[in-house]
Amino acid sequence: MIVEVEKQGQNIIVRLQGELDLCTAEEFKRVVEANLETRGVKNMILNLAGVPFIDSSGLGAILGRYKNIQERGGKLVAVELVPTVKRIFELSGLPKIIALYDEEAQAVVNI
C-alpha cells in the first residue's frame, strides 16, 4: 500500500493506493497518526480512489482515525470510493458517521 499525505490548511488529504486490509492497516494508522500530530491539523479527507478492496481491519483502522479526529473537534470524510469499497462502507454503516463525496474538491469545500 502507498499512503500519500498532503496538508492544506487545517486539513490533511490522505490518498491511498492498494488494498487496505490486515496486512496494510497498521502502516495506514502509523502514517495518518504521525500526520495528525502536525500542528494545526484538524480534519482528514481520505481519498480511496486507488483502493480496490478493504476488509474489516481496514474499516477498523478508518474508524479509529475517525474517533481520534472527532475527539479533537474535527471531521473525517471519504472521497472517490470505487463501487465495491462503497458497498462495503454501506454494509458496515460507516456513511452514517463519515460523509462520502464523489470528488476531493467537494470535500474540501464542505468539511
What CATH class has 2-110? alpha beta
Residue-wise pLDDT tens digits, 54-82: 999 999 999 999 999 999 899 999 999 99
- pLDDT for position 74: 95
Question: Rounded to an integer, what distance in angstroms lies between the CA atom of residue 59 and that of residue 93?
Answer: 11
The model's pTM is: 0.94
Percent of the chain scored above 70 by pLDDT?
100
At 104, the pLDDT band (50, 70, 90 cuts) reads very high
- pLDDT for position 40: 78
At 38, the pLDDT band (50, 70, 90 cuts) reads confident
Which residue ranges make up each domain of the chain?
Answer: 2-110
